[in-house]
């Protein structure tokens, strides 16, 4: 038994460079905690894109409005699962509802999440689709869909035109209310990291704003790629004015997010406090690939370059589509790398500022690569079910 403990201790110490405290030998937050803010960011960005059409009357974005809402709902349903899996005892999460603690940011998130899911997204989607649901309840060729639609009508099979007008006004009000809710939903994630002052990598008041704008970029990029893919899968022409407008907002979000990240980095370098040396070593060593190469070069600068070319020159539609697809994909990868660098990278160095530890991502296990991959793909399956039930494109009653 003693020999086994010694061997385990030596294997752990092999991960260490320099001096670290005993309770810092293992990282407490793994890839699942990286995945959590990534998924919530997609929710916030998709909803903000939907609000541009509903609240700010950007009518050219109408082809992506419903798709944005369904995308936000699909990712919002799955977003808490990484936390539940990481927790090990998911039933304990109910404690935040039964014994609420208003001083805990994580506890308050539970209420923000329920409010955003039940009172904003679900209700807004139901109001927006109610007219079609009533028609599909009688005419859809699938008995299963007809049954689901009849349940979704809540017993009202003949609503009046006045009720539809009320639905539209209430839905618009919900979108207006949902905007600050979306900001709060994801901004608090950055607040959690930014308020942990024991870690100089996270402790910056810009962290919530950086998380928010990068979330906008990821959500808009995700909806843009989904819109292009669904048009290709359905053999439908892409409405280029809509796609071009989405790309403009995407470019704006990427530029602002990247500028804030660079501003925070420049301020840290200019202040050059006692923790700057170890952060510099971390960036030049363990995080060079994920931060400099993937996050900054591939995930930010290259998308800005490609999107900037589409704004400066009159490029053919096919070229613009390729640029949009490549920039959107790279940005999603780069923003995931940003979450990785913040969550995992911030745990690499000791509070003593005199040593590093490492993190080896396992293939299997509760917090392994396979588990994270399943959780990352799962929202797309949920979205597929939502698209089957509530298609965001025009569909005549009785047509699949």
280 or 299: whose pLDDT is higher?
299
Q: Please tell me the least confidently modeled range out of 44-58, 87-101, 123-137.
A: 87-101
pLDDT recorded at residue 352: 67
The pLDDT value recorded for residue 211 is: 87
Q: Dihedral sign, CA of 142, 148, 153, 155?
A: positive
pLDDT surpasses 90 at 21: no
Tell me which of 196 and 267 has the higher pLDDT.
267
- Is the pLDDT at 239 greater than 50? The verdict is yes
Which of 132, 195, 139 is closest to 159 using CA atoms?
132
Quickly state the pLDDT bin for 96 (edges 50, 70, 90).
confident
Return the percentage of the chain with pLDDT > 70, whole number. 88
Confidence of residue 66 (pLDDT cuts 50, 70, 90): very high
For residue 335, the SS3 value is helix
Helix or strand or coil: residue 317?
A: helix
Could you please report the per-residue DSSP string of 138-154? Answer: HH-S-HHHHHHHHHHTT
Q: Is the pLDDT of residue 320 over 90?
A: yes
Residue 161 corresponds to which tokens in the numbers above?
Answer: 């035109």
Mean pLDDT of 57-81: 93
- Give the pLDDT mean for 263-285: 79
Residue 397 has what pLDDT?
Answer: 41
Tell me which residue of 311, 313, 318, 310 sits closest to 237, measured CA to CA: 318
Question: Residue 191's Cα: distance from chain center in Å?
Answer: 16
208 confidence band (pLDDT: 50, 70, 90): confident
C-alpha to C-alpha distance for 363 and 125, rounded to whole angstroms: 38
pLDDT top residue among 108 and 310: 310
Residue 113 pLDDT exceeds 80: no
Average pLDDT over residues 68-76: 94
pLDDT at site 75: 94
Query: Considering the entire predicted model, what is its pTM?
Result: 0.89
Residue 9 has pLDDT above 50, yes or no: no
Tokens (6 digits) for 367: 């917090």
Cβ neighbours of 311 (radius 10 Å): 11
Long-range contacts of 314-319 (CB under 8 A, 24+ apart): 317/240
Q: What is the pLDDT of residue 398?
A: 41
Q: Is the pLDDT of residue 16 over 70?
A: no
How does pLDDT run across 340-398, given as a tens digit for each residue?
988 888 888 776 666 777 778 888 888 888 999 999 999 999 999 999 999 998 754 44
Which residues lie closer than 8 Å to 296 by C-beta, 6 or more apart?
258, 334
């Amino acid at each position: 038994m003693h020999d086994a403990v010694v061997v385990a201790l030596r294997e752990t110490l092999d991960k260490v460079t320099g001096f670290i405290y005993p309770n810092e030998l293992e990282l407490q937050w793994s890839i699942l905690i990286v995945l959590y803010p990534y998924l919530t960011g997609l929710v916030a960005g998709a909803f903000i894109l939907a609000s541009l059409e509903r609240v700010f009357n950007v009518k050219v974005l109408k082809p992506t409005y419903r798709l944005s809402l369904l995308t936000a709902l699909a990712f919002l349903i799955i977003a808490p699962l990484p936390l539940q899996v990481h927790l090990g005892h998911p039933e304990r999460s109910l404690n935040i509802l039964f014994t609420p603690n208003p001083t805990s940011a994580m506890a308050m998130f539970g209420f923000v999440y329920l409010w955003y899911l039940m009172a904003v997204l679900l209700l807004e989607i139901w109001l927006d689709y109610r007219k079609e649901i009533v028609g599909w309840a009688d005419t859809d060729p699938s008995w299963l869909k007809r049954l689901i639609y009849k349940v979704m009508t809540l017993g009202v099979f003949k609503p009046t035109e006045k009720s539809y007008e009320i639905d539209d006004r209430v839905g618009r009000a919900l979108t207006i209310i949902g905007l600050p809710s979306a900001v709060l939903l994801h901004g608090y994630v950055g607040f959690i990291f930014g308020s942990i002052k024991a870690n100089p990598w996270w402790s910056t008041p810009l962290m919530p704003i950086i998380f928010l704008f990068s979330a906008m970029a990821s959500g808009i990029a995700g909806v843009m790629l989904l819109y292009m893919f669904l048009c290709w899968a359905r053999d439908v022409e892409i409405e280029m004015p809509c796609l071009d407008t989405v790309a403009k907002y995407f470019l704006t979000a990427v530029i602002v997010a990247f500028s804030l990240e660079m501003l925070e980095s420049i301020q840290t370098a200019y202040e050059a406090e006692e923790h700057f040396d170890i952060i510099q070593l971390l960036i030049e060593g363990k995080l060079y690939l994920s931060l400099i190469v993937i996050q900054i070069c591939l995930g930010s600068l290259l998308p800005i370059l490609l999107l900037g070319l589409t704004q400066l020159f009159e490029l053919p539609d096919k070229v613009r589509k390729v640029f949009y697809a490549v920039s959107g994909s790279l940005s999603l990868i780069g923003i995931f790398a940003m979450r990785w660098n913040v969550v995992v990278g911030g745990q690499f160095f000791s509070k003593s500022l005199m040593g590093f530890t490492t993190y080896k991502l396992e293939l299997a296990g509760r917090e392994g690569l396979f588990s994270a991959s399943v959780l990352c793909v799962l929202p797309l399956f949920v979205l597929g079910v939502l698209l089957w039930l509530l298609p965001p494109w025009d569909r005549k009653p009785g047509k699949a």
